[in-house]
Amino acid sequence: MDLILRGGRVIDPASGLDATCDVGFANGRVAAVEPRIAEKAKDERDVAGAIVTPGMIDLHTHVYWGGTSIGVEAEPIARRSGTTTFVDAGTAGPANFPGFRRHVIEPSPVRILAYLNVSFAGIFAFSRTVMVGESSDLRLLDLNECVRVARENRDLIVGHQGARGSRRRRIERRRAARHGARGRRKSSACR
């Protein structure tokens, strides 16, 4: 084995395991989970008192670092939190998703999936001094573009995100989505 974590509290909800065990790894994969692994490894670590668990999934993140004021870097957070998958909650829209993909998702050692923001620009003006909702201007909502980008990136986009606003604004957005700028009916799903 390449690595053995010895004596940690192993919690694996999928198998119902919650016990003190050793976990052995070979070729980057879990090879054994036993109360005591007799075999020796190249690297052994005493993790008594620590929790050993399969990688966590963070279901609401904004990891488009540099693409928006609320984006954070996924890798440093993953290292200290045990998170192996981040689901970005709609930071990028159809206009900037290609940049999010190329400059953040593809080079990341951490798995990143995304909700696509229905606003063409995604989240773009969010700070203490500037606050403009990405869906406050209905001209930014082009569901045809949303559908196109979602289809082109099916491997990463797991859904869509639309900001909620006042009841009046939600009604206006629904009407715009149904009829489009030129009176054509548009799709309301990004899949």
Domains belonging to the chain, first-starting first, are 3-52 (2.30.40.10), 56-179 (3.20.20.140)
What was the pLDDT predicted at 185?
Answer: 37
Question: What is the model's pTM?
Answer: 0.72
What are the per-10-residue average pLDDT scores of the chain (191 residues)?
A: 97 94 95 96 96 93 91 93 94 96 97 95 80 80 93 96 61 59 39 34
Residue 179: its pLDDT value, please? 58
3 state SS of 5: strand
What pLDDT does 161 receive? 87
Query: What is the number of other CB atoms lying within 10 angstroms of the CB of residue 50?
Result: 12
Q: Report the pLDDT value the prediction gives residue 69, as an integer from 0 to 100.
A: 84
Look at residue 181 in the predicted model and tell me its pLDDT. Answer: 44
pLDDT of residue 54: 92
Nearest-5° Cα angle at 142, 144 to 87:
85
Task: Please report the pLDDT score of residue 169 as a whole number.
Answer: 56
Per-residue pLDDT, 129: 81
Question: Would you state the pLDDT for residue 126?
Answer: 73
- 183: exposed, middle or buried (C-beta count within 10 Å: 0-12, 13-18, 19+)? exposed
On the 0-12 / 13-18 / 19+ scale of CB atoms within 10 A, 96 is buried
